[in-house]
Structure formats: structure tokens, C-alpha cells
């Protein structure tokens, strides 16, 4: 496997992970909205609860 092939495979892997994380975040917001709870995220090094 050449260096270019390894880089292309790594880029594809990163893109797949990014899509999965976005999908999971969307589902977390949906569930929080359904149950009327906050979505907890880290902003500026602090954990804060946001309305979905």
C-alpha cells in the first residue's frame, strides 16, 4: 500500500467518523427535545446545558 493510498483510506475513515458523530448529535438533540431535557455540551472549557 502506498503512502497516498494510506492517506486516502485515513481520510475516508475520518469522514465516516465525522458523519457518525453528526448523526449521533442529531439523535441526542431529538431525544432531549422529546423528553424536554437539556443537551449538555462543553463551551469554553465549561459544561453547559442548552435547550435543544
Query: pLDDT for 1-43, tens place per residue?
Result: 899 999 999 999 999 999 999 999 999 999 999 999 999 999 9
Which residue range forms the structural domain that includes residue 26?
Answer: 3-50
39, β-bridge pairs: 50
**Closest to 6 (Cα-Cα) out of 44, 27, 14:** 14
Q: Which among 24, 39, 12 is positioned nearest to 4, based on CA atoms?
A: 12
pTM of the model: 0.74
**Structural domain tally of the chain?**
1
The span from the first CA to the last CA of the chain, in angstroms, equals: 45
Distance separating alpha carbons of residues 49 and 32, to the nearest angstrom: 11
Amino acid at each position: 500500500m502506498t503512502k497516498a493510498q494510506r492517506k486516502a483510506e485515513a481520510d475516508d475513515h475520518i469522514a465516516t467518523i465525522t458523519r457518525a458523530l453528526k448523526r449521533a448529535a442529531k439523535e441526542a438533540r431529538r431525544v432531549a427535545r422529546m423528553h424536554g431535557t437539556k443537551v449538555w455540551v462543553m463551551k469554553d472549557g465549561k459544561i453547559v446545558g442548552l435547550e435543544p
